[in-house]
Structure 1
Amino acid sequence: MPRRATIYDVASEAGVSISTVSLALNTPARVSDRTRQRVLQAADSLGYTPKPDAVAKARKGVGRIGVIAPYTSYPSVARRLRGVLHAVGDRPLEVVIFDHPSAARSPSPLLAGLPLTGRLDGLIVVSLPMEDSTAERLTGLGLPVVLVDVSRPGFDSVHTDDAEGGRLVAEHLVERGYGSFGFLGESQESEAYVSPGQLRLAGFRAALDEAGHQLPSEGVHFTEHGLEQATAAAEELLSGPQRPAALFAGDDTLAAGALRAAHTLGLDVPGDLAVAGFDDTELAQALDLTTVRQPLEDSGRAAAELLMQRMGGAPSAVREITLRLELVGRGST
């Protein structure tokens, strides 16, 4: 029986210390991308599996699905997870959650190291972009992967047409008679990928252009994700000399910040300002917010079903599922 590779072997193969290997596998943000890649390549070539995970696999005798997503930042993600868990049901599968702080942050060291440190049999990636080196590594390892809310050639995916969602908002606002427009979105840390928010903005702008309206550059503001940050950004946007009559926010949390800013500034909604969001979370329902409804639970359920089929030896052809969006008009417009 061949000797099992150890962390010492990985360190020797990568030309780094044992502590560096440990950092690369357990707290990857603390090492450089170059070092992390060298350690991961060495571990892959040696077939190294961290011992605790190997023992756990033997003890449990069950499959392990990882779901990585920005849970702590986006309420919509929890509903996608609900769909995943519903699809898994009582099957002998363990679902392990990995939190990534922001969908606007790329690349993700955590995502790059998951197949090794998480001892996974399948992986669902929600709302996170994937750098080329990570995609190549996942493909090389033969790990079944399904993407949700994003798509990439060579990977199964479940997503919606974000640009179409932006168009739905623009068409709704134009039909309601509004003539000037603004957009509030999440700041993106990397230009190496196109985020759902960018696609929503593109669709919004294109539909306005087709209707004979413009979205001025000064009417487009970006901010870190969060209610406080969105409120501050919206106050700045709405305090300018060219205040828009209607504002589209990239998701419901950002829209909630816009509503809060409007209240602070003494603006009537929708008399002085119309506000629309995206996702149709419980927050949108509570705030009587016009928004774009995503089939969030359905997307998680579909992703889990695709992944389980892939883990069971489904045909190799890449499958892509596009789910329908719906504009939900409420009191904010």
Structure 2
Amino acid sequence: MPRLPPLNALIGFEAAARLGSFSKAADELNLTQSTVSHQIKLVEQVLGQPLFRRSHRRAVLTDAGADFLRTVHGVIEGLQAGVARLEPYRKPGSVVVYSPNAFALGWLLPRLAGFRRAYPRVDIWLDSSGRAVDFERDEVDVLIRRGIQRDPEVVSETLLQEVLVPVGAPALLDGAAPPATPAGLAGHVLLHEERAEDWQRWFDAAGLPGQARHAGPNFSDGGVLLEAAALGHGVALGSTVLADRLLREGRLRPLFGPVLPVDDPYCLAYRPSSLRDDDIRIVCDWLRAQAAVWRQTTALALPSGSEPG
């Protein structure tokens, strides 16, 4: 591995490059000008080339210096972001819950106010970044994901079984030609999500096989798909889990069956040792209780004759 300049020297280089002056950099960093000059000389020695063209008035970057400045900016910004992420670890009662973004927006977030009222001492730190999560590597206490976690060191249990049902905005469904049957959807824009349970499978289940149903916009994110439907862009084959908030707000309405079960349920995963922590156990118990209430109430909101799996 090549030798790397010290971090303090990189900070001095960045300040001098940004301000165009060694003396201004020294003032900003509360150092002497000679210290900043020494730091930059050290960086240049390590890299083996000049980074500034010196003049008595300004410090002007060489081409190599301008290129290296982009690298240093990325390093400093990454460190600042990393330090900022550590702040919640200072708080007692903080439980890190990972959830897919669409699940967090559609189902979990509307319920957090109730959690805070019931457990004001416990703070949920919600990670919905979309990154791959590893319990051994990442600081995650509770993981919500689609599909069972195949890991003998991790407990994984079904939390919510989602089903798909056609949904649309009330304005669209109350329009001049509202769809009243599956066949009536032929005159409407269909919105598609990138998943195995698609419109073609739904039409097959509705007794209308053999008809291509691929026209219409496509979406890679189920939450964005449902927001598009709520804005009146078309009818979506929507997840009852992800659409929960929009259905309760009246921005979406379910049309009619059949409903399509989804192969992989949303699951709750955690390490067994985590349950020794009272706060983590509280969060897991609360999620299970909320899921139980959801299963009871969602069947009432679905089209007649449809039930969630």
TM-score, normalising length: structure 1: 0.39
Larger Rg: 2
The two structures have a TM-score, normalised by structure 2, of 0.41
